[in-house]
Amino acid sequence: MDESNQASVPGIETLAIALTNRHYAARPELSTRYGAAGRAKCLEDARYHLDYLLQSIQIGSPILFTAYMSWSKVMLAARGIPAADLEANLDYMHEVLAEGLADTEIRASALRTIAIARRELARLPDAENTYLGVGEPLADIARDYLTALLDGDRQRAASLVLKEVKAGTSVKEVYLNVFQRTQHEIGRLWQINRITVAEEHYCTAATQLIMAQFYPHIFSTPKIGRRLVAACVNGELHEISVRMIADFFELAGWDTYYLGANVPGASIADMVLRQRAHVVGISATLTTNLGAVAALIKALRSSSSANIKVLVGGAPFNTDPNLWRAVGADASAPDAEQAIVEANRLVSGAGK
Ligand code: B12
């Protein structure tokens, strides 16, 4: 099973070096302004850009590259790097790939994909709105919860949500409107350089701990005889998403086998078989992990679990609602609530 995260087009490193050289040749003042460290950072960014580009074209979804460029624009703006630099970088990328890609089909889709992103880039905002805006459900609780975590007070954060559930709010609402929204907000704050990686790690670990406090409730629902195996694809470290999926299924009476982050495809396939799962839920947050999702599904289809229903999800699937077809899945769902609806529909035999 090929689970490589790098798109299988040769020479990403060569292209990244050529792109960086082109950028610095056109803008020699960058060397004096940012020094050797700046050049190394530019090369690192070039690798990321090309990796996202190649994954997007291999999976046939230009919108994924545009979404990545949109994310880059916000990220760079918060660090004082103007959008014009990113636009110029895309222009140089267009030139470098026009000269450096031998395969005419790949070259054509690469240039088309860059052109789409380049056209959109000027229209895209350089900041993202908060996920905890006034008017969102449970927004006050979510804001207080985040403040408690950023104060380093996970006890206070826990008691806020436990009290809320005691008062009648469902665990599902707390999951989606407090935990999920807060995690998205934490990502935004990290992206715009307002919190550190350590703060993000603390908040994430605390939320995982607090989620566990709901387990007596989650695991007490009567069972309906359906089984879910849920995992992050190989290379994928964002595990709360799929844990949330598993918990919603457990609440809906399924027996769930939650495998967590970064699971080798062969192990997922083995678990599907051993647990005689009705559905396997596969999560990918990063576009660069989509190749591994497609490889895993291909392997499942040619195994003794060929008839397993495959549900996929995560940020790229929310960006491109048709992406599930391209990776060979049976369906996708934008969140944990919709995931149950899709899984029940798949198991009851109603095709899409
Ligand atoms: C916590 C976090 C991490 C932690 C994860 C730890 C852990 N134990 O999970 C760590 C530190 C490991 C991490 C690392 C990285 N991260 Co990070 N991370 C996050 C953060 C802040 C929260 C993730 C989370 O918990 N979300 C909460 C869940 C519940 O929400 P969700 O993912 O949307 O899930 C729902 C739906 O998508 C859907 N769904 C998801 N999966 C599935 C599966 C199925 C089957 C179905 C049906 C539905 C479904 O249902 C879910 C539940 O409702 C996000 C921000 C964000 N927007 O999510 C950034 C974020 C995803 N990370 C980001 C980045 C850049 C990275 C790194 C590349 C950083 C780096 N340079 O090292 C690495 C990559 C690691 C890797 N190889 O996977 C970026 C990605 C941007 C992009 N362009 O792709 C984000 C968006 C932050 C940002 N705003 O900039 N990260």
pLDDT one-digit tens code per residue, 87-111 = 999 999 999 999 999 889 999 999 9
Q: Are 150 and 166 in contact (CB under 8 A)?
A: no
For a mutational test of ligand 1's pocket, the pick from 4, 44, 63, 285, i.e. the residue with the most ligand atoms closer than 8 A to its C-beta, is: 285
Is the pLDDT at 6 greater than 80, yes or no?
A: no
- For the chain, what percent of residues have pLDDT higher than 90? 88
Of 102 and 190, more confident: 190
The Cα 106–Cα 6 span in angstroms is 15
Is the pLDDT at 352 greater than 90, yes or no?
A: no
Looking at 86-90, 102-106, 192-196, 316-320, which range is the least confident one? 102-106
Give the model's pLDDT for residue 2: 44
Mean pLDDT of the chain: 94
Find the DSSP H helices in the chain. Answer: 12-26, 29-59, 62-77, 83-100, 104-121, 139-150, 154-166, 171-173, 181-191, 197-212, 215-218, 240-251, 265-274, 290-301, 315-319, 323-326, 336-347
Q: Is the CB of 282 under 6 A from ligand 1?
A: yes
Mean pLDDT of 230-258: 98
Residue 238 CA to ligand 1 centre (angstroms): 5
Looking at 29-38, 61-70, 207-216, which range is the least confident one? 29-38
Nearest CA to ligand 1 atom 68: 286
Give the model's pLDDT for residue 5: 44
For 89, the token pair is 């970088």
Is the pLDDT at 7 greater than 90, yes or no?
A: no
Give the model's pLDDT for residue 8: 47
What order of strands is seen across the sheet that includes strand 309-313?
255-260, 227-232, 279-283, 309-313, 331-332
Nearest CA to ligand 1 atom 31: 241
Is the pLDDT at 42 greater than 50, yes or no?
A: yes
Bridge partners of residue 281, in order along the sequence: 230, 311
Give the model's pLDDT for residue 4: 45
Nearest CA to ligand 1 atom 54: 187
The model's pTM is 0.95
193: left (phi over 0), alpha (psi -120 to 50) or beta: left
Mean pLDDT of 54-71: 97
Mean pLDDT of 270-290: 97
pLDDT one-digit tens code per residue, 235-245 = 999 999 999 99
Q: Is the CB of 236 under 6 A from ligand 1?
A: yes
pLDDT one-digit tens code per residue, 112-139 = 999 999 999 999 999 999 999 888 899 9
Give the model's pLDDT for residue 10: 52
- Nearest-atom number in ligand 1 for the CA of 205 is 8
Burial class (CB in 10 A: 0-12, 13-18, 19+), 196: exposed
Mean pLDDT of 279-296: 98
For a mutational test of ligand 1's pocket, the pick from 71, 177, 241, 256, i.e. the residue with the most ligand atoms closer than 8 A to its C-beta, is: 241
Give the model's pLDDT for residue 231: 98
The Cα 38–Cα 34 span in angstroms is 5
- For the chain, what percent of residues have pLDDT higher than 70? 96
Q: Is the CB of 188 under 6 A from ligand 1?
A: yes
